[in-house]
Amino acid sequence: MPVPIHIEGVSKRFGRQTVLDRVDLKIEPGELFFLLGPSGCGKTTLLRCLAGFCEPDEGRIAVNGRDITAMPPHLRDMGMVFQNYALWPHMTLKENVSFGLEMRHVGKTEIDRRVMAALEMVRLADRADSKPNQLSGGQQQRIALARALVIQPQGLLLDEPLSNLDAKLRLEMRGEIRRICKEAGLTALYVTHDQKEALSIADRLAVMEAGVIRQIGRPQEVYLQPVSRFVAQFIGETTFLKGTALSSANGVLRVDTAVGEWQSTVGGPECTPGEEVWLSLRPEVIRLHGAPTSGPNVFSAKLHSTVYLGEMAQHQVDLAGADGAAVTLKAFELHPKIVARDWEAPVRIHVDPADVLVLRE
């Protein structure tokens, strides 16, 4: 049965460096929760505190209401999946998966039943007698998952489990990990720095910076409504324009920038006239074709380079201001009409006011 995980006021220091700073987090029963952030932000340290590999200096960790803060790892009833698989090369897949049950002195009949059930869940029951070196990277990671699942843990901890796989296998394994977690009814905490992994399969996610959680929410919420420039640029791509709030009326905020006036109807923070703000423009919201000739957020620009990717093109577009200032925007175009690799072309761009995000920090 899925269990909740509560992390309350957890801090961890190594010498003078504070790696975790009073972190609070509640993971709901059965939730696939992602921790992501840049290297050194504290996400792996928080996972290790939950696993029992390091003890917090302050705070409390509870699983299903049971305080496990100072409990040794083998008593926490948590499954762990590492990025390097950590499989025994001389053992068969069946032997690798059964190892944790043998250490728990489970009977042979029960071991056989649970091992085959775990191998069937990861769709490798027909390879039970193979050795790890006979499998692909994705198959080895499935065995690592089966080994974690077979002990029937209360929670599953995943430490960048796909980082050693190539791009195609990573795509395949994302869906497999979500399927397996949901079928097993597990509460899972997944650590990664890969935004695509988090956006594609997380129920909720938390973005960390310098030992602090900056934002928690569903993937779509965090992507479309980031609370700061740090979150906006970490989750996906964006261009920032510094501006000054002019007025706000009837749900429309007008902002003056070096390249002209912009309007936003996103409904972000309340801004007073004269206040300094930042506009966040995602590449996919910038229209290069079919733009109106006039109206809010319509600008003349210059297309000066393109990266062609087949189904999509990534354009670089320059906007010029009245005082000679220029800003380069990145624009994504599906099924591209223009491929301008080494030449410049005048274009007209348009951004719907509903897609212009206003941030204070």
Q: What is the pLDDT of residues 300-319, one digit of tens each?
A: 888 888 888 888 888 889 98
CA angle 214–216–220, rounded 5-degree value: 120
Residue 146: domain span: 5-232
Is the pLDDT higher at 49 or at 82?
Answer: 49
Does one domain contain both 60 and 158?
Answer: yes
Pairing of the two strands 187-192 and 32-36: parallel
By CB atoms closer than 10 A (0-12, 13-18, 19+), residue 171 is middle
Residue 142, domain CATH: 3.40.50.300
State the pTM of this model: 0.88
User: Is residue 124 left, alpha or beta, with left meaning phi > 0 and alpha meaning psi from -120 to 50?
Assistant: alpha
pLDDT at 108: 86
Does one domain contain both 241 and 223?
Answer: no
**Considering the chain, what percentage of its residues have pLDDT values greater than 70?**
97
Model confidence at 341: pLDDT above 70: no
pLDDT at 212: 96
Report residue 58 CA to chain centroid gap.
27
Pairing of the two strands 276-281 and 252-257: unpaired
pLDDT band at 340; cut points 50, 70, 90: low
pLDDT at 104: 84
Does one domain contain both 211 and 246?
Answer: no
Residue 249, domain CATH: 2.40.50.140
Does one domain contain both 86 and 205?
Answer: yes
Model confidence at 339: pLDDT above 70: no
Model confidence at 218: pLDDT above 80: yes
pLDDT digits (tens, 9 = 90+) for 12-51: 999 999 999 999 999 999 999 999 999 899 999 999 999 9
Model confidence at 242: pLDDT above 80: yes
Does one domain contain both 271 and 186?
Answer: no
Q: Are 313 and 361 in contact (CB under 8 A)?
A: no
pLDDT at 342: 61
Does one domain contain both 219 and 105?
Answer: yes
Give the end of a domain, one of 232, 258, 279.
232
Domain count across the chain: 2
Q: What is the token pair recorded at 43?
A: 């996400």
